[in-house]
Structure 1
Amino acid sequence: MSLEHAQSYLPLVAGLLTGSAPLMADQNMAELRAAAAPADYVATLGARGGISYAARAAAGLSGGAAGSTDGIVVRVMGVNGPLMKADQECGPRGLMSLANDLQRASRDTEISAVLLRIDSPGGQVFGTQSVVDGVKACQAAGKPVVALCEDGLMCSAAYWIGSAADTIIVTHETCTIGSIGIMASWMDVQPYLASLGVKFHEVYAEQSKQKNADFAAAAKGDYKAVQANLTAIATGFLGDVRTNRGSRLDTKLFEKSGAAAGKTFFASQAGDIGLIDAIGSFSDAIGECVRLVQAGGAGK
């Protein structure tokens, strides 16, 4: 996750620790979840080549649209906020829910393409690969996937997901792309709790001498073992980005610019490196879905 975004949550953490955090009692969780649920759009190619689209309900379609000459059904899914594996009670839907939605879309004969609307700083590693698997399942079923960064962020785990799409579009020059890498952070509150009189005791079985050894060492300031684990994950992340972007990625500039080391970029420079494909609107992203479907489906 991009560090500046992660640190923006520190006031909330402080509020939770002091009992002064804002309550969610007035929030309608059902409405929040409904707003984040996948939505279908029906895109229609006009006689002069223009593309119009409408929400599926507004188009009056209840089924069978993807096989119709009247329109192409694009399933739109949101990838928003900090990404966590499980659904958050007071936050965004989890990565596993998104992965399941993608798998269902891959099997749905009425769906022709998928559009991921992304505005996320990244998040948890666990669950990210399941979402990528869902993207690839759609592509294997001949359904192209387009990623759209909407006036925000496509960073870290969110870029890992977006890089798997057939096309990446961003809406504005100020969209922030990258943060390709792995980090871990945690707060050591034991000294504070110890000052309150709390005592900590840990007892391990004789056979469990390596259990939690990495983090026990890190707690004493030795981060080598934890860093080795992070390095292994980062190697996979970088490899996936190179594979997913293929010939569109300027491999020399990818290294020289710092993109491979976790740097972030605005749209123009991200385009020069090959991290994105175009600057455009939501309508352009729908149009790209239609173009890819008419060109024969998924395939970068």
Structure 2
Amino acid sequence: MNQHVLAAIRSQPWAILPGYLEALEAIATRVLDHPAVLAVKEDGHQERQISAVAQMGVRAPGTRGSMLRDGVGMLPISGPIFPRANIMTEMSGATSLDVAAADLRALQASPDVRSILAVIDSPGGAVAQVNDFARLVAASPKPVSVHITGMCCSAAYWIGSQAAGGMSMDPTGVVGSIGVLISTSYQVNPDAMGRRELDIASSNAPNKRPDLSTEEGQAQIRQMLDGIEEIFIGAVARGRGVTDAVVRREFGAGGTLTGKAAKAAGMVDRIEADGLDGAIRRLAKAAPAAPRRTAAANQLALAQARALA
């Protein structure tokens, strides 16, 4: 069974910090003393999550995991991101996009919610459905803002960059890791039972099972990853109001940026000295602001009207 789970992990592309993907694979095979698993346990995410929940108020009506404080509906996105609920999301603090989407719609519909704050501390996750969820965030009829309490990396940044209300972060927050990877393996020696596994594809499907021991096979997989990365970069560029070239050049090139460096690069809008509590108080005091893209459109319309006048 563990090998089937590992095979499922390795069968799909991921937008996640590499160390977390390594930890997921180790957990799948029950190697719980693996260095990657121990590193995740010690990265402080559990303490950050407990602290964040304590500041977010009460459970928002009609939601499974969202909170409500002073008119601000908070949508937590924490831990590895998966498209659907599973044992990891139910027991390990990971995020299910189908649950998050349902909560987002509930916050949008609630008369008690004036604005929405996505509270993010995530290394990223599986690519499946991330673009669809990011589009829900971008199209929200109520302004969505983001505050980063820890990490907002890879798939999490893909989502967070779409927040029309802007992005703030703790001074020690980490953003970036824009890119896509896949973990896989190929047979080198016969297995422990003295048998070698072989896959034979049909005559007209030579690319169905590429030989990953060759440069040609790796290039085929990389071509697929590059296609996903192109969509990822395009979404980030639209969300942050910059060009694709700026994202490729200034947004870490797959690495991460912290605090002031992230703001200087344009990856976030604000360093929140008072952390999550400060972000909530700021949104609670402010009237619902025009989303960044709506405000820009209004300015353009005003300039055109003045030109005609």
Structure-2-length-normalised TM-score: 0.68
Match of 1:200 in 2: 197
Q: What whole-Å deviation, never above 9, does each CA across 1:100-129 have from its counterpart, x for those lacking one?
A: 221332233332221111111111111212
1:58-73 paired onto structure 2 within 5 Å:
72-73=70-71
* Cα separation, partners in 2 of 1:251 and 1:260, compared to 1, 3 Å: farther
Q: CA RMSD in A?
A: 3.6
Deviates more, 1:276-285 or 1:158-167: 276-285
Give the secondary structure class of the aligned counterpart of 1:15.
coil
Q: What whole-Å deviation, never above 9, does each CA across 1:39-80 have from its counterpart, x for those lacking one?
A: 8x9xxxxxxxxxxx97347xxx989xxxxxxx9522212111
Offset of residue 9 of structure 1: 4.6
AA at the equivalent of 1:184: I
* Cα separation, partners in 2 of 1:17 and 1:242, compared to 1, 3 Å: closer
* Cα separation, partners in 2 of 1:7 and 1:111, compared to 1, 3 Å: same
Separation in structure 1 between the aligned mates of residue 121 and residue 252 of structure 2, nearest angstrom: 21
| Structure 2, unpaired ranges of 5+ | 1-15, 38-45, 63-68, 294-309
1:274-289 paired onto structure 2 within 5 Å:
274-280=266-272, 281-289=275-283
Match of 2:20 in 1: 5
Give the secondary structure class of the aligned counterpart of 1:76.
strand
Match of 2:233 in 1: 238
Separation in structure 1 between the aligned mates of residue 288 and residue 84 of structure 2, nearest angstrom: 36
1:181 aligns with 2:179: yes
Match of 1:27 in 2: none
1:298 aligns with 2:291: yes
1:13-24 paired onto structure 2 within 5 Å:
13=28, 15-16=30-31
Separation in structure 2 between the aligned mates of residue 84 and residue 278 of structure 1, nearest angstrom: 28
| Structure 1, unpaired ranges of 5+ | 23-31, 42-52, 64-70
Structure-1-length-normalised TM-score: 0.70
Match of 1:269 in 2: 261
Separation in structure 1 between the aligned mates of residue 58 and residue 234 of structure 2, nearest angstrom: 38
Aligned residues: percent identity?
23
How many residues are matched? 250
Separation in structure 1 between the aligned mates of residue 61 and residue 83 of structure 2, nearest angstrom: 32
Offset of residue 256 of structure 1: 4.1
Q: What whole-Å deviation, never above 9, does each CA across 1:114-157 have from its counterpart, x for those lacking one?
A: 111111111111121232132134x3x2x11111111x211100
Match of 1:78 in 2: 76
1:206-225 paired onto structure 2 within 5 Å:
209-210=204-205, 213-218=207-212, 220-221=214-215, 222-225=217-220
8 Å CA contact 1:74–1:286 kept in 2: the answer is yes
Match of 1:161 in 2: 159
Give the secondary structure class of the aligned counterpart of 1:210.
coil
Match of 1:145 in 2: 144
Separation in structure 2 between the aligned mates of residue 54 and residue 118 of structure 1, nearest angstrom: 13
Deviates more, 1:3-12 or 1:123-132: 3-12
Separation in structure 2 between the aligned mates of residue 94 and residue 17 of structure 1, nearest angstrom: 23
Give the secondary structure class of the aligned counterpart of 1:290.
helix
8 Å CA contact 2:236–2:247 kept in 1: the answer is no
